[in-house]
Structures are given as C-alpha cells and as structure tokens.
Amino acid sequence: MKLNELRDNPGATKKRMRVGRGPGSGKGKMGGRGIKGQKSRSGVSINGYEGGQMPLYQRLPKRGFNVPNPKKYAVLNLGLLGKFIEAGKIDASAPITEDVLVESGLIRRKLDGIRILAKGDFNAKVELDVTGASKSAIEAVEKAGGSLKVKGA
C-alpha cells in the first residue's frame, strides 16, 4: 500500500450541499428559504424575537443577585499537590507560595488567587500560603503536621 492509494471507506464522506447553484442541485433558485419574507433575506438574526409579543426570557421572573465582577480563583486539590511533592517538583521544606505553585507547573495562572480544596490524600508536612482554602483543606494540612495561611479570607 502506498500513500496515493489511501482512500476513505465508501460512504464515509459526503459531498457538501451547495445551495443556490441551479435547479439540478436540488437546492436551487431560492435555496430552501421559501418565498420572500424576513427569513429569506441574508443578514437576519431573530433568535428570541416573538413578533412584538413579550419574549419568553423577559416574561420569566428574575431572582437573586449576580455579582458584576466576581472573583475567579484557580482551584488546587491537595491530592495533586501531594503528588507533586512526592515527585520532587515542589520543595516541601520551603514555604509554598502561589508563585511556587505556578513555577512548578501545577497551576497555569493565578487569576485572582489560588484556592485549596481537600480532595485526595495528603500527608506532607508543608507551610502553605495561599489566597483561600476550604475548612476541610485547612484541617487536612494541619492533621499532616503543616500549616496553611490564608490571605484573602
């Protein structure tokens, strides 16, 4: 078999429908858009428009409060941090800051800060300094003999 002999299975590929290319194409003249009207014209965007009736998204009641500029935290599970410490990618003897976590490749970017969650097994004695942490994560770190300092609580 040569590269020029490679073919797709019969029936695996289908030719694209070319709209408005004559009567023989099966989608000629009006191209499947019907006769006249707003929808037959190009450049029309009428999603959610209900012909003057109040649209559904406006009729439904709004509840609660949406924070206009919410904080977005990078999330880190303790189990993953433990694996990186075991692999030697993070030095457990030195304090672990957010910059250390980014440099090690464990987290891509800090965003508004790093938040530690307690998922996974963790038994390394470390000194963590991060923006946020769950209560169970703080307990897990202290149980392992370490300390977790939270900046923005």
**Under 8 Å between Cβ of 152 and 131:** yes
In a domain, 1, yes or no: no
pLDDT in tens, 97-151: 999 999 999 999 989 999 999 998 888 888 999 999 999 999 999 998 988 889 8
The yes-or-no verdict on residue 153 having pLDDT over 80 is no
Q: Give the model's pLDDT for residue 152.
A: 62
Residue 138 counted as domain residue:
yes
- Domain that includes residue 137, residue range: 74-150
CATH number at residue 89: 3.100.10.10
Residue 104 belongs to some domain of the structure: yes
d(CA 121, CA 137): 11
How many domains does the chain contain in total?
1
Query: Could you give the dihedral angle defined by the CA atoms of residues 82, 138, 103 and 90, in that order, rounded to the nearest 10 degrees?
Result: -30
Domain assignment present for residue 127? The answer is yes
Is 54 within a domain? no
Residue 26 lies in a domain: no
Whether 135 maps to a domain, the answer reads yes
Does 50 fall in a domain?
A: no
pLDDT at position 43? 85
| pLDDT tens figures, 28-43 | 999 999 999 988 988 8
Whole-number Å distance between alpha carbons of 49 and 33: 19
